[in-house]
Structure 1
Amino acid sequence: MSDAEIGRHARRAVIASTIGTMIEWYDFYLYGLAAALVFGKLYFPSQDPYSATLLAFSTFFLGFVARPVGAVIFGHFGDRIGRKGTLVATLLLMGISTVCIGLVPTYEQIGVWGAVALTVLRMLQGIGVGGEWGGAIAVATEWSKFDKRRGLAASWPQFGSPLGMLLAVAAITFTSWAGSPEWFETIGWRIPFLISALLIGVGLYIRLGVLETPVFKEMQEKNEVAKAPVVDAIRGYWRQILLTCLIRTGQQAPFVLFTTFLLSYGTKNLGLEKPFLFNCVLAAAALSLFTTPFFGYLSDRIGRKRMYLIGAFTMMAFAFPYFWMLDTKIPMLIVFAVLISLPIHDMQYAPQAAFIAESFPPSVRYSGSSIGYQLASITSGGPAPMIAAYLLHTYGTSSAIAAYLAFIAAISFVSAMFLRDRSKEDYTTNEGWARGEALASGGAVPVPAPVSARP
């Protein structure tokens, strides 16, 4: 294959990863938005609004709990049989679950079974998303063309997240404008979920046209494909998995609060209108479309670790001013706070993909990076809205939530200090990755093949 053909297939792989990730995050964010707006009333009726909201966010949390399960399942197959086929499976699982959510009857129609069905489908969504990320990053970056631009290449699948959120918020906004509040609570909210069926077809068409990555093909030729990649990843790279989880702590929870929890807090505690908050989040997501690839590019220039540390420190500094601006109820300050929240988040989110993927050799890259990345769903992203709701209910002030944000950002900062920057090392072979590890530790080059691949 000529260099021109390799370059063309590499670019197609990045586009496929980005669009596929966008579709899956569109599906995932829809649930969070609906949980903040209507699910408490429709599926968890209660005389106490706080209890209903907490129950709705509990099902939101279950989607995060399921994500490490998806990371283990699809991580195994992604490292065992290939990146491409595994990503097709995650897309189907996510899309079908989302369409079914749009068809679930409410509490008034089938009682508690509506909440049960919603919970099961949310968990299936979480399993699909849990298996998506590691494969999307591998497909986008495991090409020699991107050796010096992995930060930028890996930021494009990350770009799919704000793009998916932008589409999800836009879909909810347009349907809420299309009729009365009563219409939205009965029919309108279901339409964005059903639209996912069309997106599945687009995503499948694009992903089926992508080649398997050269890195995985080379592992197959060298008989370096692990037989038990999840076991190998946990046994040999548990430290990287743990640090991956911890560096995400101060990135994922703030994102959930800046988008999902904001809608609940803004409408119920500050008395703001839903359309106003939707527009603010839409504007922030639109700005994030530019800042995500920019900070990915910047990480190629100054190093992944340095970029991440800058982002975590900035998040610490932003926690209290963010809520101070919201609590003024002054429209311009609220717009400014929401508008800059996601770009500040992107200072960690954009370099994160390459930073994490580079921490694992190719033989366990899908498994190791997925498990570490998705474990943060349990420790950070999933409980974030419930913790925020609890802190607000208990202390009656947003300063408690701000302190929580600052604390978890500090965890990310400290954890990133212990994760080595491999942005300039060989990424494409087990042997090259092992050589970089040995040089950094001052030891001999270890055997590159994974334990479970050895005869």
Structure 2
Amino acid sequence: MSYSATAERESEPASTHASEVNRVVFASSIGTIIEWYDFLIYGTAAALVFNKLFFPADDPFLGTLAALGSAAVGFFARPFGGAFFGYLGDKLGRKSMLLVTLVIMGLGTFAIGLLPTYEQIGIWAPILLVTLRIIQGIGLGGEWGGAALMVLEHAPKHRRGFCGSLVQVGFPIGLILSAAVFAAVSQLPEEDFLSWGWRIPFLSSIVLVALGTFIRFKVSESPVFLEMKAKKEIARNPFVEAVFKHPKNFLIAVGLKICEVSWVYMLTVFMVVYATKNLDLSKALMLNAIMIAAAIEIVTIPLFGYLSDRVGRRPFYFAGTIFTVLFAFPLFWLMDTRDPYIVIAAIAIALSFGHGLMFGPQATYFPELFGARVRYTGASFGFQVSAAIGGGLTPILATVLVNKFGGSHGVSMLLIALAGITFIAACFARETRHDSVREL
């Protein structure tokens, strides 16, 4: 059956009370905050610490590249998590996968904080670090889709975009928490920071995971999934059905994600390296700029989600890609001024409009592209494949381009090319705000 649907065929989740909707949104958002915190502290540590403690090299560039490469491994693991837990979520239910993925991510993050360094155990240190990063990626790969689906399938039709955007707010809040805790421990003397201070952000995550698991345990299963289960309409092989029987929607999801995810990790990972190494800006300034920009996104992401219920999802992808093309060069010109206020303003503008415009409606738009039978698999796998390509490779490619050409022009051209891919995907995507969440 086609994934397309009309407003006349819309059937809302049966008598889902407002209190239950609020509970599901809260539980999904809290868990997503924790997941993003766990995943993002690695990126910050890779830029500031891991190149020295786990990937020592005579050439600082090679050490930095190796550390960023280890961060990218987590992105490459995310599609496997999306496919595996998406498959189980479409077969067994959404709620159980939310609990499992949160625990996997939390334990992986906590274990990173316990690792000995290269100086202590040699080559086993980076091997163990990369292994735990893979576990992080698998956990996050399965978590996002489940959180998005739980909200989508409980929310009333006219508020799906707004409710879904509250799941997305987990990213900037997680970003603030990760940047804040690293900003705090980076105030320690360098020796203490490299010895034990960097471990605090990883070890403290175990408390957040326990809290998130408790909250998520209390939410009810998706009414859409329960209805499919009662009618015996569960897909026999959700992965095959989502990716091979309906490849257009899968490829569109990959294309829609590529610009936004490349842009945000360029800002939050590569830009920290670029600004501290090439522009001699302080770690504190860059972390503060990221925190301020993320705080603004806590407002702009729900705003864009709310507006997507009024004007549709697609317009935000057109607007976001156009902004990226226009701002790809000015962003670096503003950074090159080295003026703290200009740097903070540039990061804040870039994050909200190059990332938030597209990220806000995403938790609603991606699942809406797929039918209920394969929604977890299709949305998760498409999202995470693009995240692996854009988020995993972009900081590395940007670092190589700056090192090779001695400037930021190559990075700007790369971002413009990726924006072009998303623009084309948006042209082929359909509008979904009137579609039924029960369409198979």
TM-score (norm 2): 0.95
Cα separation, partners in 2 of 1:4 and 1:220, compared to 1, 3 Å:
closer
Query: Is the aligned partner of 1:56 residue 2:67?
Result: yes
Question: Does the Cα contact within 8 Å between 1:308 and 1:352 map onto a contact in 2?
Answer: no
1:347 CA drift (Å): 0.4
1:4 CA drift (Å): 8.0
Question: Does the Cα contact within 8 Å between 1:215 and 1:429 map onto a contact in 2?
Answer: no
Task: Report the residue type matching 1:15 in the other structure.
Answer: F
Question: C-alpha deviations, 1:70-90, integer Å up to 9, x for none?
Answer: 011100110001000011000
Cross-structure match for 2:271: 262
Distance in 1, matches of 2:219 and 2:283, equals: 40
Question: C-alpha deviations, 1:248-289, integer Å up to 9, x for none?
Answer: 111001100111111111111000111111111110010010
Counterpart of 2:212 in 1: which secondary structure?
helix
Q: Percent identity?
A: 42
Which moves more between the two structures, 188-197 or 338-347?
338-347
Which moves more between the two structures, 363-372 or 333-342?
333-342
> Mapping of 1:223-242 within 5 angstroms?
223-242=232-251
Distance in 2, matches of 1:353 and 1:417, equals: 19
The partner residue of 1:121 within 121, 132, 135 is: 132
The partner residue of 1:358 within 355, 368, 378 is: 368
Alignment gaps of 5+ in structure 1: 431-455
Cross-structure match for 1:445: none
The partner residue of 1:197 within 184, 206, 211 is: 206
Question: C-alpha deviations, 1:91-141, integer Å up to 9, x for none?
Answer: 000000000000110000000100000000000000001001111100011
1:377 CA drift (Å): 2.2
Cross-structure match for 1:8: 19
Task: Report the residue type matching 1:64 in the other structure.
Answer: F
Counterpart of 1:397 in 2: which secondary structure?
coil
Alignment gaps of 5+ in structure 2: 1-12
Query: Is the aligned partner of 1:78 residue 2:89?
Result: yes
Task: Report the residue type matching 1:96 in the other structure.
Answer: L
Counterpart of 2:301 in 1: which secondary structure?
helix
TM-score (norm 1): 0.92
> Mapping of 1:342-357 within 5 angstroms?
342-344=351-353, 345-357=355-367
Cross-structure match for 2:378: 368
1:5 CA drift (Å): 6.4
> Mapping of 1:287-436 within 5 angstroms?
287-344=296-353, 345-430=355-440
Query: Is the aligned partner of 1:131 residue 2:142?
Result: yes
Task: Report the residue type matching 1:409 in the other structure.
Answer: A
Cross-structure match for 2:109: 98
Question: Does the Cα contact within 8 Å between 2:112 and 2:202 map onto a contact in 1?
Answer: yes
Task: Report the residue type matching 2:323 in the other structure.
Answer: T
1:3 CA drift (Å): 8.5
Cross-structure match for 2:294: 285
Task: Report the residue type matching 2:335 in the other structure.
Answer: L
The partner residue of 2:31 within 20, 23, 32 is: 20
The partner residue of 1:170 within 180, 195, 220 is: 180
Distance in 1, matches of 2:350 and 2:184, equals: 23
Task: Report the residue type matching 1:427 in the other structure.
Answer: V
The partner residue of 1:249 within 258, 269, 293 is: 258
Higher RCO structure (Cα 8 Å, ≥6 apart): 2
Question: Does the Cα contact within 8 Å between 1:308 and 1:351 map onto a contact in 2?
Answer: no
Distance in 1, matches of 2:233 and 2:20, equals: 24
Question: C-alpha deviations, 1:388-412, integer Å up to 9, x for none?
Answer: 0010011111111111111111211
Cross-structure match for 2:9: none
The Cα RMSD (Å) is 1.3
